[in-house]
Amino acid sequence: MASTDMEDGELLQGVARGDQDALLTLHKRYVNLVYSMAWRVLQDVGLAEEVTQDIFLKLWRKGRQYDPARGRFSSWLLSVTRFAAIDRLRREERQPSPANLAVGEQDETAALEQLLPTDHAAWERGQHLRLVLEQLPSEQRQIIELAYFGGLTHSELAEHLGLPLGTVKGRLRLGLEKLRALWLDETGKKHEAARPTY
């Protein structure tokens, strides 16, 4: 069987045996997804590229770190990427910035094809969640993005935004509660035309 037709699990076993083709197939399959996360966090093409390559090199050297019992490979991979990118952001002493939605909208179809067949569904859910996020009041959306993609904690958010700690905690909590409610609503009523209420 050609490596391009293999499931992630088989490819990971190949990686553990030192099969370069298996890793390169995983790279082709997930490079855009990993790069998108790295780019979203770092907002810098060069740094995002470095973090992306690093993630796959680590997979090569320590392929066994992924534990299938703890969820999908793609989620694990993106979670590792998020932490690595946030770590890089801190080491470069860069400030996290809001999403630049103008970038990255091109070539969606080509990239989407690369994701198939493994995680089309998860990707679609995520992109739908992004639209839901955009329904939040802008100050709540901003603080969620700074926390999640910028890796800032309560006290760091307070400093970054120049707001009292209590305000920051309240705003993040309300934003996340609202996002969750909207998301439950959207996923629950996916096929209904009704606007979500909250």
Partner 1 sequence: MRQHDQLIELIPAYAMGATDANETQAVEAHLRVCAQCRDLAEDYRGLGDDLLFAAPLASAPVGLTEELRKKLNAAPPAAPKRAGWLDWLRKPGFALGALALVALVLTNVYWAGRVGSLQRQTSEFAALTQADGITLQVADGQTHADGVIYLQPNSNVALLCVYALPELEPGKTYQAWLVEDGRRVSAGTFDVNADGYGALLIQAGRPVNEFQQVGITVEPAGGSPEPTTPRIMGGNL
35-64 residues in contact with partner 1 (CB under 8 A) are: 35-37, 39-40, 45, 48-49, 51-54, 56-58, 60-64
Instruction: Specify the stretch interacting with partner 1 by CB under 8 A; choose among 3-11, 168-176, 188-196.
Output: 168-176
Plot region of 157 (φ>0 → left; ψ -120 to 50 → alpha; else → beta) = alpha
Nearer to partner 1, 5 or 93 (CB): 93
Smallest gap from Cβ 73 to partner 1, in A, equals: 12
Relative orientation angle of helices 73-91 and 20-42, to the nearest 10 degrees: 50
Residues 6+ apart with CB under 8 A from 11: 3, 22, 23, 25, 26
> Rule CB under 8 A: which of 64-123 touch partner 1?
64-65, 71, 74-75, 78-79, 82, 84, 87-88, 90, 99, 101, 103-108, 110-112, 119, 122-123
3-state SS assignment for residue 8 = helix
- Both structure tokens of 105: 């909208």
Residues 113-152 that bind partner 1 (CB under 8 A): 119, 122-123, 125-127, 129-130, 133, 144, 147-149, 151-152
Beta carbons within 8 Å of 76's beta carbon, 6+ residues apart:
66, 67, 70
172 is a contact residue toward partner 1 (CB under 8 A): yes
